[in-house]
Amino acid sequence: MPSPSASSYAPPASARLVAPDVVAPPDVRAQELERVAARAPLGALGLASSGRGARQDDWQGTLLYRPVVTSSTSFEAMGHAIIIAGTEPVDAESTCEFAGARWRCGERALLAFRYWLRGRALRCQVPPVAERRPVAAPCRLGKQDVGAWLVSNGWALARQGGGYEQAELVAREARMGIFGRPE
């Protein structure tokens, strides 16, 4: 469909044309266009790195896209069913009490994990050929340890010997998550 020229276009009464010959795109035919090579970069800042600067603390794992939270400590993504290693889930039907008021802390724990992930990709250490049953694995979201985040914010419990016991104590003392007031 050809674009209307500036002379055939009638603006609404409340608007006015501002330089229609300057703002409108020029009428160019396809055979007049020519592809030219890209210019050389102005500097090395925007160039991709070689990847040789790997640090000792770099964390390897499988990137799992579009996680779907199934409990306060588990999710499914790309055919994997993952339970965050070192954590115990809060049952979704659990209720907690704070200052005499009961609230549905289990449901809130599941939602907190879901909102925190927001569909972002997690990097987890899963076996190369994961079976269709749940696997306990440590995971990270960026540089954040997922298990440490869940336990230290009070949305999961630390599994005995899982490494998050101190984080659970801090969450209990600070009355965070399931140990605190309803939100």
pLDDT tens digits, residue range 107-153?
A: 999 999 999 999 899 999 987 765 667 889 999 998 899 999 999 99
Q: What is the pLDDT of residues 9-64, one digit of tens each?
A: 665 666 666 666 666 666 666 667 778 888 887 776 656 555 554 444 456 788 99
Closest by CA position to 116, among listed 91, 83, 141? 141
3-class DSSP state of 117: helix
Q: Which residues pair with 77 in a beta bridge?
A: 80
Confirm whether pTM is higher than 0.75.
no
Q: How far apart are CA 150 and CA 166, in angstroms?
A: 13
- b/e per residue 85-121 (b: at least 16 CB within 10 A): bbbbbbebebebeeeeeebebbbbbbbbbbebbeeee
